[in-house]
Chains A and B, each alone.
Chain A
């Protein structure tokens, strides 16, 4: 295909344009001012899609499995909220402090992991242990963090934008998250198409060979780790904003990490839209099952087991293969030419 042809480059961008246009239409079509429930579900989809994008960068691209996404989100959120309270400034400013602290922490762990040559399972266990420690410390330091009672938090709003555009606070929050998603999406697309993408692929294939070709493996792994945990720490406060309270239960292993893993694998590792599709499916399922109490846990457990045994490649890549190999494309082309 001719990559320089402007028409074909626009055509290849069509899905991206369509997806973002659809996302922008979500609030006017589905957000009901009388009930916040539906809007909050859509916001949760965006939040988890971004979490899954972050995991995609660190796990999908550099094979570093982290199991403390809940803890990192908590670190970002508590830093944001507590510094905002302490210095009496807007959380819109301290948001970046929280994200930076999360990113530095995540990058540091990845540095130690890369220096000490952790295998994927060692990093998984170390980060899981950190997840447990972060949870314990938040509950234990109740004088600072409010313990299990939590801290009320709704300050990440933009009243000026609400009144200017005449839309509700949840719609604004949704658009902010779509914006964050767009930035992460752009960064990920740029990363995978740049020399970094090639270097990541080399690291996945054979770390030692990658090192031999002059790739600074440690620096790249730390970079991926910093980027991912920065994103997770940045989105954490928005996640808490949706519930209106910062409590440790929000960031538990089962509440964040398990869901994000299912979302990423369902959507497909290293797939650009996989996280969004996976998040939509999983949050929809979650919504459907929430009225059945613990059957929700049972179903997700079964889904996780089943996915990993039979569908490790994910839904989007599978659909793509079917589209390409199953002749769907040829049939579509035939239809078009037969007009």
Chain B
């Protein structure tokens, strides 16, 4: 019983940190520029596919993963400079609506392309050995994901609290006009954060693919999960999103173990609906 509990705890935590990362991808861009980025899942799937292709040519998952994430960041930069810039020209509710539809259209566009060129499922099975602890057999990839995500959270924390750019980003989130008066160019910060969020989604995608198969259709599912986590976390709060991801990861894992996987997904969406009904003013 205890061993079972420990196994669930580790798997739940691993799922939680992955959800946190996806949620951060939404939170950063929405909090900063009010664009609900429905392309997020595409970034994750592209990273996973790139990583699986690179695995054949470069040694080691870490190396392949890093190059894949860099490629996704470049991809995001191109998009930001072109189509996303058109969305940023609008303001207020117009920007929010245009952002939803433009990123929805783009995600369909890229999802279709992925289906055409990489229709199969990708599973980054690198064979992380399982770890036995106190009679529990812990999934190796879960432990690896938790450790790697902890490092990543540390880096993100450092970025937002101790670097000029990170503090500048938080300034723009709080007050765009105030940021301009302090000499921080919002559009530039928005571009950097858009790229950063794509990179985070790429990392989360690679983590996710260690334990599950990823297909082009996964991009839609992953995007919807990310939005729900971000909402439960408060949409513009970075620490709130991380906490929400971890809590939801646990709830989903436990609900999944007790009642079956479909109720796990239902729980996630129901939690988001409950939070929105309770505090609808958080997105305005």
Q: Do B112 and A126 touch (CB < 8 A)?
A: no
Tell me the A274-314 residues at the B interface (CB within 8 Å).
Answer: 293-309
Cβ-based interface call for A117 (8 A): yes
Tell me the B39-91 residues at the A interface (CB within 8 Å).
Answer: 83, 86
Cβ-based interface call for B257 (8 A): no
Cβ-based interface call for B172 (8 A): no
Nearest-CB distance from B219 to chain A (Å)? 11
Give the segment of A32-40, A48-56, A130-138, A172-180 that binds chain B. A130-138
Q: Do B104 and A129 touch (CB < 8 A)?
A: no
> Which residue in B86, B96, B100, B113 is a CB contact (below 8 Å) of A309?
B86
A254 to B220 Cα, complex, angstroms: 10
For A293, the chain B residues whose CB sits under 8 A away are 115-116
Chain A, residues 239-281, CB within 8 Å of chain B (1/0): the string is 0000000000000011000100100000000000000000000
Across the interface, name the chain A residue whose C-beta is closest to B98.
A308
How many residues of chain B get a CB closer than 8 Å to chain A's CBs? 42
Cβ-based interface call for B260 (8 A): yes
Across the interface, name the chain A residue whose C-beta is closest to B269.
A129
Q: Do B111 and A301 touch (CB < 8 A)?
A: yes
Q: Do B277 and A126 touch (CB < 8 A)?
A: yes
For B111, the chain A residues whose CB sits under 8 A away are 297, 301
Nearest-CB distance from B33 to chain A (Å)? 14
Q: Do B116 and A309 touch (CB < 8 A)?
A: no
For B160, the chain A residues whose CB sits under 8 A away are none
> Which residue in B36, B270, B281 is a CB contact (below 8 Å) of A133?
B270
Cβ-based interface call for A124 (8 A): yes
Chain B, residues 244-284, CB within 8 Å of chain A (1/0): the string is 00000000000000001011011001101100110011011
For A116, the chain B residues whose CB sits under 8 A away are 277, 280
Chain B, residues 83-123, CB within 8 Å of chain A (1/0): the string is 10010000001001110111011111111110110000000
- A301-B107 contact given A129-B273, A133-B269, A294-B112, CB 8 Å threshold: yes
Q: Do A119 and B101 touch (CB < 8 A)?
A: no
Q: Do A119 and B100 touch (CB < 8 A)?
A: no
The binding surface of chain A is classed by DSSP as helix
How many residues of chain A get a CB closer than 8 Å to chain B's CBs? 42
A81 to B188 Cα, complex, angstroms: 55
Cβ-based interface call for B227 (8 A): yes
A125 to B98 Cα, complex, angstroms: 15
Across the interface, name the chain A residue whose C-beta is closest to B281.
A117
Tell me the A96-136 residues at the B interface (CB within 8 Å).
Answer: 112, 116-122, 124-126, 128-130, 132-133, 136
Cβ-based interface call for B228 (8 A): yes
Q: How many A-B residue pairs have CB under 8 A?
A: 123
Q: Do A130 and B273 touch (CB < 8 A)?
A: yes
Q: Do A132 and B108 touch (CB < 8 A)?
A: no
Nearest-CB distance from B38 to chain A (Å)? 10
A301 to B101 Cα, complex, angstroms: 10
Nearest-CB distance from A292 to chain B (Å)? 9
A324 to B270 Cα, complex, angstroms: 49
- A119-B108 contact given A136-B265, A261-B101, CB 8 Å threshold: no
- A119-B116 contact given A132-B269, A301-B109, CB 8 Å threshold: no
Q: Do A120 and B97 touch (CB < 8 A)?
A: yes
Q: Pull 27 A–B residue pairs with CB atoms less than 8 Å apart, ordered by A.
A: A112-B277, A120-B96, A120-B97, A121-B36, A122-B280, A124-B100, A125-B231, A126-B272, A126-B276, A129-B270, A130-B269, A133-B269, A133-B273, A140-B262, A253-B220, A254-B220, A293-B116, A294-B113, A301-B108, A304-B108, A305-B101, A305-B105, A305-B106, A308-B105, A309-B86, A309-B98, A309-B102
- A positions within 8 Å CB-CB of B: 65, 112, 116-122, 124-126, 128-130, 132-133, 136-137, 139-140, 253-254, 258, 261, 293-309
- B positions within 8 Å CB-CB of A: 36, 83, 86, 93, 96-98, 100-102, 104-113, 115-116, 220, 224, 227-228, 231, 260, 262-263, 265-266, 269-270, 272-273, 276-277, 280-281, 283-284
Known: A129-B276, A301-B108, A306-B105. 13 other contacts (CB 8 A): A119-B284, A121-B36, A132-B269, A136-B269, A294-B113, A298-B116, A301-B109, A301-B110, A301-B111, A305-B101, A305-B102, A308-B101, A308-B105
